[in-house]
């Protein structure tokens, strides 16, 4: 029998299933909507791979940590609604635990999921059928120190250590690790707000610095000033650029009268020994993922014509 676009849309609205799945369900059940819903439910896990074509740019950032090490993970879903689902939150928290042990993305994906013989990848794939959306483990990273502390900050948290943005900061010191952790958390909050490009000037991408220098030089030449003056103008503008994008040069969000570098020096008095920010990680949910935009009506019409 002929399946109409309206029928496909109605079944999709009822079930959240993909259009090709809805069309197949209606064809298998001779257009009986209730039977088609049941057909899709029965095929839930078997059809999990069909959902992989849908963009998963929502989800959660998860953190797991000890005093001297911590890990960040990003697990994606299609909608923000799923991020508030307790089952999904449990998955993200467990993946973060795995990341604390294994670190990088590939190792975590292949590691066993807590309490299971299945891998993290297979466990998330199975959850697609029960949760009803395309899900994906996107990335993980770990930060640690031999002495000192690693602290975390989660922004827009929906539960403990789960949110939309996560930051880790490592401080190396022979001083009080708990005092170091408290300051590292403040720096993590700063990084969440400012998103620096690098820890220090030496760590900044040379290509990014050169690009800015070229732009500033071209702008300065438009003033008609001699080259020796232009050189000094560019130096001044580059100093300002570093203050904007380099962590240690930035004005500290919690006290804008000092830089992060100076705030660290001040914190050494509490920590009781020299301290160094040895690294940081910042995961923002969905960054770099291009969300698909589509004309739903045209998409349905094209599907039904096939």
pLDDT at 35 over 70: yes
Query: If you search the block for the tokens 């839930």, which residue do you land on?
Result: 44
SS3 of residue 272 by DSSP: coil
pLDDT at 46 over 50: no
Least confident range of 86-100, 175-189, 218-232, 267-281:
218-232
Mean pLDDT of 8-26: 79
pLDDT in tens, 80-105: 888 889 999 999 999 999 999 999 99
How far, CA to CA in Å, does 35 sit from each of 2, 13, 23, 46, 300?
16, 15, 13, 17, 21
Give percent of the chain with pLDDT exceeding 90. 55
Higher pLDDT among residues 232 and 161, named by residue: 161
Q: Residue 290: is it exposed, middle or buried by C-beta count within 10 angstroms (0-12/13-18/19+)?
A: exposed
Give percent of the chain with pLDDT exceeding 70. 88
Structure-token pair, residue 17: 């299933």
Higher pLDDT among residues 2 and 244, named by residue: 244
Structure-token pair, residue 55: 């963009």
pLDDT at 272 over 80: yes
Residue by residue, DSSP assigns 78-126 as: SSHHHHT-HHHHHHHHHHHHHHHHH-SHHHHHHSBPTTSSSBHHHHHHH
Contact 273, 175 (CB under 8 A): yes
Higher pLDDT among residues 302 and 232, named by residue: 232
**Residue 47, pLDDT score:** 44
**Residue 297, pLDDT score:** 53
């Amino acid at each position: 029998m002929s399946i109409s676009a309206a029928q496909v849309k109605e079944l999709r609205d009822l079930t959240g299933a993909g259009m090709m799945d809805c069309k197949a369900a209606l064809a298998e059940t001779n257009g009986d909507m209730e039977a088609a819903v049941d057909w899709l439910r029965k095929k839930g896990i078997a059809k999990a791979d069909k959902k992989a074509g849908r963009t998963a740019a929502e989800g959660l950032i998860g953190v797991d940590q000890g005093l001297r090490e911590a890990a960040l993970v990003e697990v994606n879903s299609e909608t923000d609604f799923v991020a508030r689902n307790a089952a999904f939150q449990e998955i993200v928290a467990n993946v973060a635990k795995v990341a604390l042990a294994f670190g990088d993305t590939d190792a975590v994906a292949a590691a066993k999921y807590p309490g299971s013989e299945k891998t993290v990848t297979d466990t998330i794939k199975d959850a697609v059928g029960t949760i009803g959306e395309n899900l994906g483990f996107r990335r993980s990273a770990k930060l640690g120190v031999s002495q000192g502390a690693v602290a975390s900050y989660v922004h827009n948290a929906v539960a403990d250590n789960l949110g939309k943005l996560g930051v880790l900061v490592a401080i190396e010191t022979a001083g009080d690790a708990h005092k170091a952790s408290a300051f590292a958390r403040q720096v993590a909050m700063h990084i969440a707000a400012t998103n620096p490009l690098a820890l220090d000037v030496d760590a900044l991408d040379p290509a990014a610095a050169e690009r800015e220098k070229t732009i500033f030089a071209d702008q300065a030449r438009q003033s008609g000033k001699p080259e020796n003056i232009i050189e000094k103008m560019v130096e001044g503008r580059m100093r300002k650029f570093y203050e904007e994008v380099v962590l240690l040069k930035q004005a500290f969000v919690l006290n804008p009268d000092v830089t992060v570098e100076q705030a660290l020096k001040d914190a050494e008095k509490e920590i009781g020994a020299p301290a160094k920010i040895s690294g940081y990680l910042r995961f923002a949910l969905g960054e770099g993922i291009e969300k698909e935009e589509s004309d739903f009506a045209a998409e349905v019409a094209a599907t039904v014509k096939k």
